[in-house]
Structure 1
Amino acid sequence: MPLGEFDLIRRHFDRPVRHQPLGVGDDCALLAPTPGQQLAVSTDLLVEGRHFLSTVAPQALGHKALAVNLSDLAACGAEPMAYTLSLALPRVDDAWLGAFASGLHALADAHGIELVGGDTTAGPLTIGITVMGQVPPGQALLRSGARPGHVIWVSGWPGRARLWLDAVRGTLRLEGASFEAGRLAMEYPQPRVGLGLALRGVASSAIDLSDGLLGDLAHVLARSGPTSDAALGARIDAHRLPRHPALAGLPEETVLACLLAGGDDYELLFTAPPSRDADVQEAAQRAGVAVHAIGQIVEAPGVEVRDAMGRSLEGPWSGYDHFGTQEGGRA
């Protein structure tokens, strides 16, 4: 007998509540943030064929669906609390749901958060997650604090997800360890929650890299400027961009396309005054995440990408646009 809506919820998503004593099970979940904390809320929608390939393993999809939301909390320096799940399914596949739920629950358990509600329906495979966190008033990391002279930093090793996607599309050849490194980056991104928490009071602005480094940097510049009569801009030093070994041996234009315009990295891009360089490194060490200084905020319009000799580089780099180009890291 096929599973009904409430049967599949009970089998795969109904879990004992441990951290939210007001819990789940009624028409609304009742949450109780720590007294004096602000609530941070973020929502993401993943659609098959647009955000993920139909061939992706369901366990990986469960992980990523939650990871991309936790990455938003990380970019705000918020501590995760709970999340809801809305799921549209073309059909009820018990084995698929079991694997999807295992990936989802494993990441939730790693961050100590609860599934406190949601909805299921029939339709094209679509996953909607809303995640809730908390942050002390005045300590949230925002996109609006970058100022001229501030150093631009990026965490981890961006570019691998775009590299893997290009290999899957057949536009480049990628084998062995490089292919696997790209696949893991695409399917199992690691939200930098610990780094976001450690950067509170240190970073002047922050955003997570979902639509490409240059595209997301543009969001920071738009929210932070103008600070004077001149528009706010940035200078990126291409030779200082972190280059994972998977990118070794590829043409420079391919490497820069992955680093600057690839999506689905879910690393943190953030700024800080140069006087806080040591604090940034200390925060990164506490979080166990590598960080790299890649440029500077400037009081001039636009973003300039320069080589080691200070010469401007030109390229067809652009971030991901859900209603425009398919370039970037999304499927």
Structure 2
Amino acid sequence: MEPSTRWPRMSGADEFGEIARLFRPLTHGAAGAFDLMDDAAVIPSRPGFDLVVTKDALVEGVHFPKGEAPDLVARKLLRVNLSDLAAKGAEPFGGFLAVAWPKAYGARDRARFAMGLSADLEAFGIDLLGGDTVSTEGPFVTSLTALGWVPEGRMIRRRGAQPGDRVAVSGTIGDGALGLSAVLGEIPDPEGQLASRYRLPFPRLDLREALRRFATASADVSDGLVADARHVAAASGVRITLDLDQIPLSGPAASWLEGQPDLIEALIRLATGGDDYEVVCTLRADAPKPAGLTIVGQVSEGEGLVTQIGGRVVDPGHGGWRHG
């Protein structure tokens, strides 16, 4: 993990020392990490497996509110990357970290970030293999490149859905969007469940084997169920119809929905809000529905995405988070 030479607050020796203190323990002794004392790492091969690589970044004020606790940012960073691996049917094993510390981040904040990352690396059995630290005049920015193994030729792509397949989604939908509103104080969240779902999504690594066996296409729900299902439809060259009144809801989300004056508008908000980090996938018509999945639509010939409520087509607008 190589420090920047443009660090205004500490000498190179001090920065190397901080990396050794904060991040070297996160390698868990992985041989290819070389104790973070080199400019690169070595990833060993695994016969019969493909290496799956994904990368997500978080920017303060864009992907999380300004002033968010550093340990929560670190944990969310890891989890959103693991969500991508989960949707591909991959088994995670390592990652490369990049952090741009703003001036306001002192030693305690940097240590707290490392502590949060350490807790989740340990919880998910993953090693830190390397990365980079720099300083910035702008907002706090961090990214992770996550690595995972999948049996050779078995990665589940967005492309692969076929007419006749069923569309399924894991967990519950809409908690991420409502959680952000709760964090911002826009809606009540007396038990803190919605805020927790937004801050600490849980990657669906538990579905790995089921997805490998039964899914024809898959994506993680980061931009919103509508947007990510649309990505699958476009990649597969098919039409996907989503029944928004069938999406699974948590208790807090269902309670929120009951209090909304416009059911259609509220369901569209839940299905387009993003930050759920569940999995949307397509299943063969003759495949059993794995536990933890809810059928929310179907695949047919054609193109694009159709959303309906009670059998009536509704317009979801742009459908979710748009990048740039």
TM range (shorter): 0.7 to 0.9
RMSD: 2.0
Whole-angstrom CA distance in 2 between matches of 1:318 and 1:311: 17
Whole-angstrom CA distance in 1 between matches of 2:52 and 2:316: 37
Superposition deviation, residue 57 in structure 1: 1.5
Residues 254 and 185 (structure 1), Cα distance of their counterparts in 2 relative to 1, 3 Å cut:
farther
Deviation readout 1:198-250 (Å, 9 max, x if unpaired): 3113100000011111111111111111xxxxxx2111112211011112223
Residues 11 and 17 (structure 1), Cα distance of their counterparts in 2 relative to 1, 3 Å cut:
closer
What is the aligned-residue identity percentage? 36
Which residue number in structure 2 is paired with residue 128 of structure 1? Answer: 143
Which residue number in structure 1 is paired with residue 102 of structure 2? Answer: 90
SS of equivalent to 2:159: coil
Which residue number in structure 1 is paired with residue 6 of structure 2? Answer: none
Aligned ranges 1:151-230 → 2 under 5 Å? 151-169=166-184, 172-177=186-191, 180-225=192-237
Are 1:320 and 2:321 counterparts?
yes
* Aligned residues of 2:168 and 2:294 also touching (Cα < 8 A): yes
Superposition deviation, residue 102 in structure 1: 1.7
Superposition deviation, residue 84 in structure 1: 0.8
SS of equivalent to 2:296: strand
Which residue number in structure 1 is paired with residue 274 of structure 2? Answer: 263
* Aligned residues of 2:26 and 2:118 also touching (Cα < 8 A): no
Which residue number in structure 1 is paired with residue 116 of structure 2? Answer: 103
Residues 240 and 30 (structure 1), Cα distance of their counterparts in 2 relative to 1, 3 Å cut:
same
Are 1:245 and 2:258 counterparts?
no
Structure number with the higher strand fraction is 2
Superposition deviation, residue 195 in structure 1: 0.8
TM-score, reference length from structure 2: 0.88
TM-score, reference length from structure 1: 0.86
Amino acid at match of 1:151: R
Superposition deviation, residue 41 in structure 1: 0.6
Deviation readout 1:81-115 (Å, 9 max, x if unpaired): 11011110113512212221122111111221110
* Aligned residues of 2:189 and 2:195 also touching (Cα < 8 A): no
* Aligned residues of 1:204 and 1:272 also touching (Cα < 8 A): yes
Residues 234 and 85 (structure 1), Cα distance of their counterparts in 2 relative to 1, 3 Å cut:
same
Gaps of 5+ in 1: 226-231, 285-289, 324-331
Gaps of 5+ in 2: 1-8
Deviation readout 1:167-199 (Å, 9 max, x if unpaired): 4556x532312xx11111111011111213431
